[in-house]
Amino acid sequence: MTDPLNWLDERAEERVRAGLRRELRARAPQTGLIDLASNDYLGLSKHPDVIAGAIEAVRTWGTGSTGSRLVTGTTTAHEQFEAELAEFVGAEAGLVFASGYAANLGAVTALAGRGTLVVSDAASHASLVDACRLSRARVEIVPHRDVAAVERLLGARTEQRALVLTDSVFSADGDLAPLAELHRVTRAHGAVLLVDEAHGLGVRGDSGRGLVHEAGLAGEPDIVVTATLSKALAAQGGAVLATGRVRAHLIDTARTFIFDTGLAPAAVGAAGAALRLLREDPALGGRVLARATEIARIAGVPQPDSAVVSVVLGEPQVAYEAAVACRERGLSVGCFRPPTVPEGTSRLRITARADLTDAEMDVIATVLTDVLADARQEVAA
């Protein structure tokens, strides 16, 4: 009998030859590595108050949410956190999902559908890409940060409704969306702007309220904000932050809300504690950006606008070997290769944290200087 899955081996061999094979690496509680790979931007994932928030939630509610949000998966802790997060970012209401991915899928598919034009930035996160595919709308992809292209599509559309999608801070390059210009265009053409603040919340804006707030757009009725609780807020889960009527519509129609198990109480408790710490220390986001600036200087790349420092090296194998060399010398860094990034732009994705010490920065300077010099020499050869 012919093995119907033989093609998996062929594809695996192709990925090995292209330097694109992925591997899982289990993380021990203590690695001895300086973490420049995670999205724990504020360094709160092991903060005692955040841990205590998770433990208290488990003691109160148990280990799981026990069901979907519409059945038994909503606790008073969920609703309290939704209100607190919405107030923090300047939105009227919030709705928590089991992940940031689920929040984007739920929001886009519930707000789009047949008879809608969806316009998405070419660098939008994979969750927004998949949301477009599931939306049943006409989808148009515009060049990265191209407001004029968005305006042309909105002006020429025949659909009654339109939804424009963008990250606020783009996850691979760490650059910023032109939110003010995008909102001007979407409002002029009767469209809704959906902004994914996954990498903006906690880092950009007054006290970490996000790039939408920084742009003076918080609370605008034609803006929908999505966010994740797994980065600056050091937990897990996602949220949609918008008007009360958008929240009500998502409760009725968002499939990833209706049919998914509710976010576990421990994650709600941890995220709530992290949010309180962010309120108490509004300078946390500024410390992240300061460390990111230092790392960019060491790496010889332009000053970043976010916690993400992107060091493009070109070929996948060069980037992979540089990441391995960093790890062997005590640094854990991200390695982004296609299809995560375009062909020819494989890179080290280095993320700053607010709690990096001066001693750690000294190690980072020594290791990155040496590793990147070797990598760039290999690229030039």
In this structure, the dihedral spanned by the alpha carbons of residues 248, 254, 259 and 263, taken in order and rounded to 10 degrees, is -70
What pLDDT does residue 53 have?
98
Query: What are the structural domains, with CATH classification, of the chain?
Result: 48-280 (3.40.640.10), 283-380 (3.90.1150.10)
For the chain, the average pLDDT equals 96
Pairing outcome for strands 192-196 and 223-228 = parallel
Residue 109: phi and psi, rounded to 5, are -65, -30
Count of alpha carbons within 13 angstroms of residue 314, beta-carbon side: 9
pTM listed for this prediction: 0.95
- Each residue of 225-284: pLDDT tens digit? 999 999 999 999 999 999 999 999 999 999 999 999 999 999 999 999 999 999 999 999
- Each residue of 294-343: pLDDT tens digit? 999 999 999 999 999 999 999 999 999 999 999 999 999 999 999 889 99
What distance in Å separates the CA atoms of residue 223 and residue 240, rounded to the nearest whole number?
A: 11
Burial of 122 (0-12, 13-18, 19+ CB in 10 A): middle
Give residue 359's pLDDT band: very low, low, confident or very high (50, 70, 90): very high
What distance in Å separates the CA atoms of residue 157 and residue 159, rounded to the nearest whole number?
A: 6
Burial 166-191 (b: 16+ CB within 10 A, else e): bbbbbbbbbbbbbbeebbebbeebeb
What pLDDT does residue 220 have?
98
What is the percentage of the chain residues whose pLDDT exceeds 90?
Answer: 94
What pLDDT does residue 352 have?
98
What distance in Å separates the CA atoms of residue 101 and residue 98, rounded to the nearest whole number?
A: 8
The answer to whether 227 and 263 are in contact (CB under 8 A) is: no
Q: What is the DSSP letter of 208?
A: G
Matching residue, tokens 């707030």: 213
Contacts 24+ apart (CB under 8 A), 66-74: 66/262, 67/261, 67/262, 68/258, 68/259, 68/260, 68/261, 68/262, 69/96, 69/251, 69/257, 69/258, 69/260, 69/262, 70/251, 70/257, 70/258, 72/262, 73/261, 73/262, 73/263, 74/262
